[in-house]
Amino acid sequence: MKSLAFLFPGQASQFVGMGKDLFDTYEVARLRFEEASEVVGVNLSKICFEGPEETLKQTFITQPAIFTHSVIVAELLEMNGIRFSATAGHSLGEYSALVAAKAFDFSTGIQLVAKRGALMQADCERTPSTMAAVVGLPVEILNEVCQEAGGIVVPANFNSPGQIVISGETDAVRRAMDLAKSRGAKIVKELQVSGAFHSPLMATAAKELSSSIDSVTIQEPICDIYPNVTGKVTRDPETIRKCLKEQVTSPVLWSDTIFAMRSNGIEQFFEVGPKNVISGIVKSIDKNLPIQTVGTVLEIEALMKQIGNFL
């Protein structure tokens, strides 16, 4: 039996139409969207299926939308006999990973995610801020660039050895972008995000979310968990809690996560949720790592036809 891992996407994986085929096909999808809509206070399925895109891109909508879609797919895979030995999620995706691993249930997860999205959006609106991807600079040089830029700008997502995302005040990020280009970066691109995630500008959101995280019960997960904050394996509920509280302002150590999973014997990865952003990142870390996207009815059905290859 192959050692499988589920990987869950974060923001930027949303798209208008996401989840509609699941909703039309599976009762569990309808139930999850209904519960999520009640918690968020909007008709989440309508926004996911019909847009408009500008509404779906708002952080307080995006996060519950991606979380709900991802958990639905994970539940459907479990119902069809797919068993995994490890899981991780990129930023927001960590909450989907924890539900899949039974650390807490969907109801707890959607309440935390809805609060997280609302708090992070509020922090985004306080200060003009942004993020930018930098390709081809060593981390030591990028750290120097951020310091030279002045203001608040920090490395936020260590996506792969060659790609790091910086985050902070808009002017500081743009100064850092110019400096990165002058220091030899191959690609420097500002991202279409609503604010500076995983930076000190999220401190208010982190503080307010912390009390909500403290209020929930976190069970020992049924599989290995790799939190963003450490990139290291754990099954300890209090370590998971601590990492969740630190995650909003701490960098996402994604390449460390994938390297650790590979070292610990994971043989097959599945990106569980909308689109295929994580698959692209994993391939940029190690093009030989097998990863398959599963986020639509057609992809679920295709996987079921080849399930014997993974058992």
What positions carry a catalytic annotation? 91, 198
105 class by beta-carbon count within 10 Å (0-12 exposed, 13-18 middle, 19+ buried): middle
Give the SS3 label for residue 274.
coil
Nearest Cα neighbor of 28 from 73, 62, 65 is: 73
Cβ of 280: how many Cβ atoms within 10 Å?
A: 14
**What is the rounded CA–CA span in Å between residue 129 and residue 304?**
43
Question: Which tokens in the block code for residue 187?
Answer: 């690609």
**What contacts 288, CB < 8 A, 6 or more positions away?**
none
Helix (H) / strand (E) element for 171: namely helix 170-182
Question: Which tokens in the block code for residue 65?
Answer: 């939308």
**What is the rounded CA–CA span in Å between residue 166 and residue 211?**
27
Question: Which tokens in the block code for residue 22?
Answer: 């699941």
Cα 31 to the center of its chain, rounded Å: 23
